[in-house]
Amino acid sequence: VVAFVRVVDGRFETREALRAMAQGTRFEAEELGFLSPERRPVKVLEAGEVGYVITGLKDVSKLRVGDTLTSEKGPAAEPLPGYKDVKPMVFAGLFPTDSDEYPELRDALERLKLNDAALFYEPETSQALGFGFRCGFLGLLHMEIVRERLEREFDLDLLVTAPNVAYRVQERPGGDWVEVHNPAEMPRELEAVEEPYIKASVIVPKEYVGQVMELCNDRRGRFDHLEYLSEERVHLTYELPLGEIVLDFFDQLKSRTRGYASFDYDLAGFREGTLVRVDVLVAGEPVDALSLIIHREFAYERGKLLVERLRKEIPRQFFDVPIQAAIGARVIARETVKAKRKDVLAKCYGGDISRKRKLLEKQKKGKKRMKQVGGVEVPQEAFLAVLNLESDR
């Protein structure tokens, strides 16, 4: 690992023992120097100089951008101000479309991590999608960049689940708060749940104020204040749930203001919310990759939209396939993919009705037996339906 540094006070010498104050990583400065533009080694870096330090570390995650380096012999009393530890805000599952490519995906993420310290990942198993990784990103743009790099640089064909944010859950009164990154991990019975909020700042021409306020209210926003910066420009401040802006809020904002709005936000901490986990059952079996964490007020509407979209995406079988959205044991929406039906009466031109009934009963028993042993394969397009739900709101 080569660290680029600016010396604020004191001096560094070659082979001097150094320490990163935020991470606590200790190492020896193997080489010091300047970039001009090639590396030019020197013995000493003095205060006010900008250069590089070859640390000898093999793991890039042990040294973070913005950290303060200090000498072990005469350490600084406190680190320089302004450093914040990078924390992933958006989580999504990355799964190879071919399960045999799992080792290639693991190696690709390891190599990507070397020059992207903000990327977080851990192994994840899904009943529907097989083996993959639950990855943490700084935002949606970061997620798109990582996905594009994996597909282009490493020639991987990936399926990305719907992005979601981290929630804090308390299972029983007085219990510990647990952070949940995956809807499938959220317990069905819980005491309280908190979601992250942001303080959003929107600067917009005055003629679009109504559209922006309507959008923020639709996303469960809390109005803070409105200020006129000039005769034409208005500054709006809202508090919004991070989960409501993570998919397409910025696109909707630009669309409603013809591209004139500017949007910025800061994290405002966690707030308690009325959130529920909506599970999707296909032929009576839960599909964990399609689960959602959503506000109870919108659960029925989103569940109905999702099962309607899935009905169009899941191919027909030789038996009826029920698709249900449920909160716990209560089903809130249902659609049915109708069965393919062979015309068993095609050769019966006449004769007694009992003969036709016998053939229909035989077909009915066969379909019942097929339903008991048959499985339904959920196609990739069905998982993309979760991402496209926002366009129907």
Who's near 208: CB < 8 A, 6+ residues apart? Answer: 256, 257, 258, 260, 261
Q: Which CATH class is domain 2-71?
A: mainly beta
The full set of domain ranges for the chain reads 2-71, 90-161, 192-272, 277-387
C-alpha to C-alpha distance for 177 and 258, rounded to whole angstroms: 42
Q: What is residue 229's three-state secondary structure?
A: coil
- Give the pTM: 0.69
Fold match between domain 2-71 and domain 277-387: no
- CATH fourth-level superfamily of 90-161: Elongation Factor G (Translational Gtpase), domain 3 (3.30.70.870)
Contact 22, 79 (CB under 8 A): yes
How many residues can be counted in the chain? 393
Residue 235 token pair:
């500054």
Helices (H) then strands (E): counts for the chain? 8, 25
How confident is the prediction along the chain (393 residues), in pLDDT tens digits per residue? 788 888 888 888 898 888 888 878 888 888 999 988 888 889 998 888 899 998 888 777 777 778 888 888 888 888 888 777 777 888 888 888 888 889 999 999 988 887 777 888 999 887 777 889 999 988 888 888 999 999 999 998 888 887 888 888 888 887 888 888 888 888 877 888 899 999 999 999 999 999 999 999 999 899 999 999 999 999 999 999 988 888 778 888 999 999 999 999 888 889 888 888 888 888 888 887 788 888 888 889 888 988 888 888 788 777 778 888 998 888 888 888 887 766 656 667 666 777 777 777 776 766 555 544 446 666 666 666 666 665 555
In this structure, what DSSP letter does residue 321 have?
A: E
Q: Which CATH class is domain 277-387?
A: alpha beta
C-alpha to C-alpha distance for 212 and 355, rounded to whole angstroms: 67
Please tell me the CATH code under which domain 192-272 is placed: 3.30.70.240
